[in-house]
Structure formats: C-alpha cells, structure tokens
Amino acid sequence: MIITATSMPNFELLLGSHYVDGQPKLVFLDWQTADYPALQSKSLAKLAAHYQLAASEIYFIEQNSLSKDNKLHIILLTAIQQLQDYANGKLNTFDLPLDISLGTPFQQRVWRALQAIPYGQTISYAQLAANIGQPTAYRAVANANGKNPFSIIIPCHRVIASGGGLGGYTGGLDKKRYLLGIEAS
C-alpha cells in the first residue's frame, strides 16, 4: 500500500492506494492533523488488517515523488488532481476507482447512497436512512457515515442533522463547513 499526502487550503489529506483483485484502487482518504503523524492514521491499522499487510508493506511517498509510470501512483495523482479541482470549484463529481470492501454490507449501502447526494445539496441523517429503505436506522446511518473511508470523495459532509444543524463530521466541523462552503459558492 502506498500513502501520500496532499494539501487543500488550510488542511492536509492522506491518500492510500493498493492493488485489489489485481487492480489499482484508492483505498482511503483521511484528514491529516498536526498531532496525527502521517503513518499513524486512525485508518491505517484497520486497513493493514483488512488487506493483510505487514507494516513493511505500507509506505509513505512524498507527493512530488509520485511517478506516472506506476499504476498505484497514477491513482494517487489522479485523486490529488480531482481534489484540487474540487477545491477550486471545477469538479462536482469524483471519478476514481474506490475499494469500499473495508465496510460492512450496511456501511457500503450507506456509502453508495451518499454518492447519490447532488453536489451543493444536503440531506438529513433521517432522509439518508429512508433513502436506503431503513427509515428508523438514522443512528446506524450516522455511524456508517462516520466510518466512511473516503471523506470528500464519498460526500458524507452533505449529511446534516434534521434540525438543520451541521451534526458531526469525523474530520471536524471546521472541515465540514469548508467543504459545504466550496459547494455553496
């Protein structure tokens, strides 16, 4: 698994790619914080176990060292370009090969439903639960939302509380406000 970091205004992101069934895929995107070193991502241990990788099989590459000659690097370079385009208001929908197998079947259903929320719009956790055919499962939907391994790309930031408040966001409410602000402009 290859991990790199990229920047959005005021924020750092970690991205990881790996071969899944012989195909290069993006396997996670996580918010980086000053007190969370790059190789200590909260997702990393879970990812290593899921993909049955030893620590020596997971390595960090600086963004400027990524090569267009390596398929795993190409996935990361493409993701970085799309994230930059999104941050600049030039991209509404991501087109990346994602591996969502880390999630349970329920989580995967929620993550697919998140991808159906149009750019610039928000829905409530209750509405998201109804969208997957389980209208009383709004708490479980919120939990699955928080376990989304692809912040931004699978737009969990577009889900808000029923009363109109922001609700939660794994990356922090400052990041949720930032992403919703991009989409509002």
Active site residues: 156
CA distance 27 to 18: 6
CA 98 to chain centroid, in Å, comes to 10
d(CA 99, CA 161): 28
DSSP 150: B
Answer for the pair 128, 154: CB distance below 8 angstroms, yes or no.
no
Distance CA 92, CA 42 (A): 27
Q: Residue 44: CB partners within 8 Å, gap ≥ 6?
A: 3, 58
**Which single residue is written with the structure tokens 């069934």?**
21
Exposure string of 158-172, with b = 16+ CB inside 10 Å and e = fewer, is: bbbeeeeeebbbbbe
What value, to the nearest 5°, has the Cα angle with vertex 168 and ends 166 and 172? 100
